[in-house]
Chain A
Amino acid sequence: MPQSSQAALREPTVVVASDYFDSYAVVGLLAVIGVLFVAVAFGAGRLLRPVVPTPEKLLTYECGVDPVGEGWAHTQVRYYVYAFLYVIFAVDSIFLFPWATVFAAPGYGAATLVEMFIFLGFLAVGLLYAYKKGVLTWT
């Protein structure tokens, strides 16, 4: 008897999980269709288009003059600071979504609201710090 009740307890979760994966199976199927579409398009393109390569055509395009140096040239990457900022903020924001679904549920109200303002406060202070540091203005 305990075994069967255990099975009854377990059963619903199994159904939910398989439903859950079902919807992603359809997503996967669509991805396969998409890949097939691209493959067919490229394959058909191969049959349709002319292939007449010349060294000039295969040259890297630099406004008509011969390319200078390498394409993977050294540049000053100013964006990395934004990348740091983004990673910090985005990882924080990810946690918003599960929280968003329950925060107004009965019994949560005021406490989660305070939590939210603490969270927003952290983000705002971080942003303000970056601003004061001059990260957000270009020289």
Chain B
Amino acid sequence: MNDALDVALRLLIVFVVFLTFPLIVGQAEHKVMAHMQGRLGPMYAGGFHGWAQLVADGVKFAQKEDIVPAGADRRIFQLAPAVALLPYLLVLLAIPIGPGDGAVGEVVDAGVFFVLAVMGVGVLGSLMAGWASANKFSLLGGLRTAAQLLAYELPMLLTAASVAMAAGTVSLPGIVDAFEWWWLPWQIVGAIVFFIAGLAELQRPPFDMPVADSEIIFGAYTEYTGLRFALFLLAEYAGIVVLCGLTTVLFLGGWHGPWGADGLGWVWTLLKSAVLAFVVIWLRVTYPRLREDQLQKLSWTLLVPLSLAQIALTGVVKVVIS
């Protein structure tokens, strides 16, 4: 009974995190982007600096008519947002924020493997949406999404493998347990490659060619309205949370910090993830969108060779020191 309660509590926490953290990132994006561009951003909803803007957006989305185009593949069209969103919920379960069994939803043995595999499923949602919409813009957007996943999944896999090599385990808590501060310079190339590849997989600017509004309206999501559209947006922000959490756990040492790692390790994890989320927003404001061919070129001719080099470096150093 106690076990059941324990599991229920963990699932509840993971679910609440899944529903709130993406909104916090979204609200931060509203405000940070605004201030970087010399605007105020939302100021009205909720009174204090527009904190309830996304709640208001959610209420608005729920009241919008749900339109499925007559030409669309109805079932697939309606299911696509769920397929895009749910993988990120499952990934959150496996990300540890503190030491020990208490600070992780569930220790999944093959953590890195599980996380990367499940994250890849999210793209299926975009592909389903793109195909089922029976819209030319959507189809192009869906294909671009798929091509982008193909290009960037590879450097992501390779750099994650590099960390697994360094730690000698594929369990996420195991990797953070094995972390030493000098891993930071050792794995820095891998960290940057992993983060960039993750951004591209989430189709965040400057890698948002699949939803390029000036070319193909909103890519695979062109035909979506109301709640289903909102779920796609939620998936994007849940993806940011997951990516920042994973980068923290794999490359930045998770709960390790210069001090206070014993009791307050989870603060370090959240702090590092928050800084990374800020960087995600910062990059969106800073860089213009990459063209489709530049996107592919960046991955295949720069990120993949870099991640292979990182694996070589990891292997040599690891064998030399052990």
Taking A23-B108, A104-B319, A124-B308 as contacts, is the C-beta distance between A71 and B71 under 8 angstroms?
yes
Do B93 and A26 have beta carbons less than 8 Å apart?
A: yes
- Judge whether B315 and A113 touch: CB under 8 Å: yes
B65 touches A120 (CB 8 A): no
What residues on A are CB-neighbors of B250 within 8 Å?
none
- Given A30-B89, A72-B139, A97-B113, are A45 and B158 also a contact pair (CB < 8 Å)? no
A63 to B165 CA separation, bound complex (whole angstroms): 51
Q: Does B103 contact A (CB under 8 A)?
A: no
Assess the A100–B164 pair: CB atoms within 8 A. Answer: yes
**Given known contacts A45-B62, A100-B161, A101-B164, A71 and B319 CB-to-CB distance under 8 angstroms:** no
Q: Is the interface of A mostly helix, strand, loop or mixed?
A: helix
Distance A30 CA – B86 CA, assembled complex (angstroms): 10
Q: Mark B99-121, 1 if CB is under 8 A from A, else 0.
A: 00000011111101110000000
B273 contacts partner chain A, Cβ-Cβ < 8 Å: no
Q: Is the CB of B86 within 8 A of A34?
A: yes
A89 to B153, CA, bound (A): 10
B138 at the interface (CB under 8 A from A): yes
Instruction: Please tell me if B151 contacts chain A, counting CB pairs below 8 Å.
Output: yes
A70 neighbours in B (Cβ, 8 Å): 71, 134
With known contacts A48-B62, A86-B150, A104–B11 Cβ distance under 8 A = no
Chain A min CB distance to B280 (Å): 24
Q: Which 10 A-B pairs have the closest CB atoms?
A: A71-B134, A79-B147, A86-B150, A138-B293, A58-B70, A96-B161, A100-B165, A100-B164, A45-B227, A38-B82
Q: A26-B11, A82-B296, A105-B168 are in contact. List 8 more A-B contacts (CB 8 A).
A: A26-B93, A58-B70, A60-B134, A71-B138, A72-B134, A90-B157, A130-B300, A136-B296
| 25 residue pairs A–B, Cβ–Cβ below 8 Å | A20-B109, A23-B106, A26-B93, A30-B90, A38-B81, A45-B226, A48-B63, A58-B69, A61-B223, A67-B71, A71-B136, A72-B131, A75-B139, A79-B150, A86-B150, A86-B151, A86-B154, A97-B112, A97-B170, A100-B161, A101-B169, A104-B318, A109-B322, A123-B308, A124-B305
